[in-house]
């Protein structure tokens, strides 16, 4: 979805996110920025319809308005010339990975991209990402496109092939980032992950998005969303992301949207 938000578009950088609220009764939800165009004043968001707000967002038409759209929030990705960077995107996490890949490539890195999803339909931005990748891999859980298997299998193969990897960037479901971080820890490859906890204000005020990083409590909204994957307590993040699952179901039911 392309949103006209000139102030946000002007300042947006890879790795950042926005918070939106569709209407007066709406919840504030964070979404990572998939693309931005300062000249046109637009910000692109890609989201999976998983809860009430995202489903409602999916029903908006061209020309509709979103009541509140604030950003860009969070610390931008630390883009520099690392050497060889493997960028791993899983499912809807491919979207925020795209600006990171582009920035890494423009900074002169050798970029190896691995995109994965449950099936072919859930893949996205393949052409765009391939354009900025020196090496490009696709895998799906069911084998409907690319190799059958997980992104971690592809990464393992690259490592086994003796490829020298300086940094791994992984954005996707928490479990995917955990598996990737566990793998790269063994080989001592620096790994950056982008976290997606529940947020309310997004400005450091509520602490709902707190995550344990290296046994310190950090706020994903102002300290993140990107962190050293080897230090993140993913289990606690998964637990905290389940906080309102029952309420989400109830909100969907009341609004008459299918879950």
Partner 1 sequence: MAVKKEKYPMPEQDPKKRIKNFDEVPYGYDEQTAIEEAKRCLQCKNKPCINGCPVEIDIPDFIKHIAEGDFDKAIDVLKSKTSLPAVCGRVCPYENQCEGECTLLKIGDPVGIGRLERFLADYERKKGVKIPKIAKSTGKKVAVVGAGPAGLTCAGDLAKMGHKVTIYEALHEPGGVLMYGIPEFRLPKEIVKAEVDYISKLGVDINYDVVVGKTISVDDLIKDVDAIFIGTGAGLPRWLRIPGENLDGVYSANEFLTRVNMMKAYLFPDYDTPVKIGKVVATFGAGNVAMDCARTALRLGAEKSYIIYRRSDKEMPARAEEIHHANEEGVIFKLLTNPTRFIGDDKGILKEVECIKMELGEPDDSGRRRPVPVKGSEFKIKIDTALVAIGQSPNPLIPQSVKDLKIGKWGNIETDEDGRTNIPYIFAGGDIATGAATVILAMGAGKKAARAIDEYLKLKK
Residue 96, classified by CB atoms within 10 Å of its CB into exposed (0-12), middle (13-18) or buried (19+), is buried
73 binds partner 1 (CB under 8 A): yes
Cβ proximity to partner 1, 77 vs 133, nearer residue: 77
DSSP string, 158-202: HHHTT---SEEEEES-HHHHHHHHHHHHHHT-EEEEE-----SSS
Residue 77, classified by CB atoms within 10 Å of its CB into exposed (0-12), middle (13-18) or buried (19+), is buried
15 binds partner 1 (CB under 8 A): no
Cβ proximity to partner 1, 205 vs 259, nearer residue: 205
- Strand-by-strand arrangement of the 226-228 sheet: 147-148, 135-140, 110-117, 84-90, 167-171, 190-194, 226-228
Q: Are strands 147-148 and 68-73 parallel, antiparallel or unpaired?
A: unpaired
Cα separations in angstroms, 162 against 63, 89, 136, 179, 233: 51, 22, 17, 20, 29
200 binds partner 1 (CB under 8 A): yes
Binding segment toward partner 1, per CB under 8 A, in 5-13, 111-119, 170-178, 187-195: 5-13
Query: What one-character DSSP code corresponds to residue 232?
Result: B
214 binds partner 1 (CB under 8 A): no
Cβ proximity to partner 1, 43 vs 114, nearer residue: 43
Looking at 31, 44, 46, 69, which residue binds partner 1 (CB under 8 A)? 69
Binding segment toward partner 1, per CB under 8 A, in 25-33, 81-89, 134-142, 155-163: 25-33
Smallest gap, in angstroms, from Cβ of residue 57 to partner 1?
12
Looking at 136, 190, 248, 257, which residue binds partner 1 (CB under 8 A)? 248
28 binds partner 1 (CB under 8 A): yes
Looking at 201, 230, 231, 257, which residue binds partner 1 (CB under 8 A)? 201
Looking at 148, 217, 228, 259, which residue binds partner 1 (CB under 8 A)? 217
Cβ proximity to partner 1, 48 vs 239, nearer residue: 239
Residue 36, classified by CB atoms within 10 Å of its CB into exposed (0-12), middle (13-18) or buried (19+), is buried
Q: Provide the binding-site residues for partner 1, judged by CB under 8 A.
A: 7-8, 11, 21, 25-28, 52-53, 67-73, 200-201, 203-208, 210-212, 217, 219, 222, 233, 235-236, 239-240, 242-244, 246-248, 250-251, 254-255
């Amino acid at each position: 979805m392309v949103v006209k938000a000139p102030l946000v578009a002007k300042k947006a950088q890879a790795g950042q996110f926005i918070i939106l609220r569709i209407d007066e009764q709406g919840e504030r939800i964070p979404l990572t920025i998939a693309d931005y165009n300062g000249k046109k004043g637009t910000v692109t968001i890609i989201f999976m319809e998983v809860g009430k707000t995202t489903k409602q967002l999916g029903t908006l038409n061209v020309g509709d308005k979103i009541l509140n759209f604030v950003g860009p929030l969070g610390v931008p990705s630390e883009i520099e010339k690392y050497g060889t960077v493997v960028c791993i995107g899983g499912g809807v996490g491919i979207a925020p990975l795209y600006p990171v890949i582009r920035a890494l490539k423009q900074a002169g890195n050798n970029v190896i991209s691995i995109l994965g999803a449950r099936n072919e339909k859930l893949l996205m931005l393949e052409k765009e990402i391939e354009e900025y990748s020196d090496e490009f891999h696709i895998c799906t859980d069911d084998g409907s496109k690319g190799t059958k298997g997980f992104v971690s299998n592809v990464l393992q193969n690259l490592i086994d092939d003796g490829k020298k990897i300086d940094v791994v960037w992984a954005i996707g479901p928490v479990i995917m980032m955990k598996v990737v971080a566990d793998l790269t820890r063994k080989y001592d490859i620096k790994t950056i992950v982008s976290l997606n906890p529940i947020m309310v204000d997004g400005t450091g005020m509520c602490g709902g998005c707190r995550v344990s990083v290296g046994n310190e409590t950090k706020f994903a909204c102002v300290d993140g969303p990107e962190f050293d994957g080897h230090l993140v307590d993913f289990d606690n993040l998964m637990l905290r992301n389940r906080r309102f699952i029952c309420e989400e179901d109830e909100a969907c039911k009341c609004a008459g949207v299918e879950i």
